[in-house]
Amino acid sequence: MHSAVDVIRVKRDGGRLSDEQIDWVIDAYTRGEVADEQMSALAMAVLLRGMTPPETARWTAAMIASGETLVLSGLGRPTVDKHSTGGVGDKITLPLTPLVAACGAAVPQLSGRGLGHTGGTLDKLESIPGWRASLRADEIRDRLREVGGVICAATEGLAPADRKLYALRDVTGTVESVPLIASSIMSKKIAEGVESLVLDVKCGSGAFMKTPDQAGELATALVDIGAAHGLRVSALITDMSVPLGRAVGNALEVAESVDVLRGGGPPDVVELTVELAREMLRRAGVSEVDPAEALADGRAHDVWRRMIAAQGGDPDAALPRARYVETVTAPATGTLTRLDAYAVGLAAWRLGAGRARKEDTVDHGAGVRCLAKPGEQVTEGRPLLELHTDRPETLEPVREALAAAYEISGADVKSTPLILDKVTSDR
């Protein structure tokens, strides 16, 4: 007979939880038998004491077992997904999903909403008139069979234990635990029923993981869990010290993503989209098509249009635009040497692009456009940043806050590679 107090004591004292203890506590918490305050104590013990890889894998399995698993067999295509740990201007899911689908894989991209300075994929897509995020399991399978790709909200039945525990961690100071982060991400991804998975672990000021060592620790934990559950899995560690692309904000990022799908767009967004597509196709065993070609010749854009229309959206409709657009001008002439991702993400959030609480609404037209990126020349008095908002009272405080977000000098900028490292289960 198990008890919550006994399980808490084991981890509090630095012990290893047994498989039976993990299975019991996750199931009992999901059913309400273990109280929030008890699970809070256990989460804090895990944060302080950690978990071994086998413990983390079992914790993940228990969260998966708390709900349903999508069945994606019979699609006639290999299934592969991508997960990003989140960043500023990270709209990669939007062009990546139709690109990989255009190359022959099925991509069930179950996504979330933004909170704080990082944007959410569903918020971005909901700026498209008519598009709907919620699909039933049978609708997800139908879209994958007919179109090859789908971006939607997770169904209610997937990993309900994670949904409950995530909300608890958010209010108890236990979000930072790597085992709990890794099991949260992987329980939902494994419950999707995909065969392969590629992870984009962000690193830098605009990411949750600030240093390469932190990002590497999380990437390793994620890959190990995936491998333990039979997934073909790898992780790219990518830079998030500078906003990705030039657009930060929901409709602004959709427009930039469509530019990429039409053969244009910022070089960093194109580079990361193509490299993640190549890694996803490698994991899925699809080698016949070069994603760079599928992006250049319009095939990915065709899939995007079909994918949006299949969820009620109008791919030709005008996107929301903010009522107020103002510029921040360069205070000097020289080279832009720094543009802090976190500060820009925070500015977009304050302008209305994000939410402080899950129940808040977002202004789909709000955000920031980066008219210059590090390494580029700027001229005194010329536009540097563009602020978009429906809330004019936010413009002045945002402008003041952004003054410390960038630096201009005569020095050359040492370029940082976008992809910093790769972790695979083959290591």
In this structure, are residues 309 and 301 in contact, taking their beta carbons and an 8 Å threshold? no
- 314 as an active site residue: the answer is no
162 is a catalytic site residue: yes
In the chain, the N- to C-terminal Cα span, in Å, equals: 40
Residue from 11, 58, 82, 83 carrying the catalytic annotation: 83
- Tell me how far apart the alpha carbons of residues 201 and 16 are, in angstroms, rounded to a whole number: 27
Among 84, 125, 75, CA closest to 105: 75
Order across the sheet with 334-339: list the strands.
377-378, 334-339, 406-409
Q: Which residues contact 127 (CB under 8 A, 6 or more apart)?
A: 250, 251, 254, 319, 320, 364, 365
Decide: 55 and 17 in contact? Cβ < 8 Å.
yes
Q: Which of 81, 90, 123, 162 is catalytic?
A: 162
Instruction: Locate 61 and state its tokens.
Output: 């399995």
- Spatial separation of the C-alpha atoms in residues 351 and 322, rounded to whole Å: 10
Cβ proximity of 188 and 82 under 8 Å: no
Is 414 among the residues known to form the active site?
Answer: no
Annotated catalytic residue: which of 11, 82, 188, 364? Answer: 188
The answer to whether 297 is a known catalytic residue is no
Strands, sheet with 247-248, edge to edge from the N-terminal-most edge strand = 247-248, 367-370, 383-389, 324-329
Phi first, then psi, for residue 340 (nearest 5°) are -75, 125
Q: Which residues share a beta bridge with 110?
A: 152
Residues forming a β-bridge with 408? 336
Which member of 11, 169, 202, 246 is catalytic? 169
Would you please indicate which residues are annotated as catalytic (active-site) residues? Answer: 83, 162, 169, 184, 188
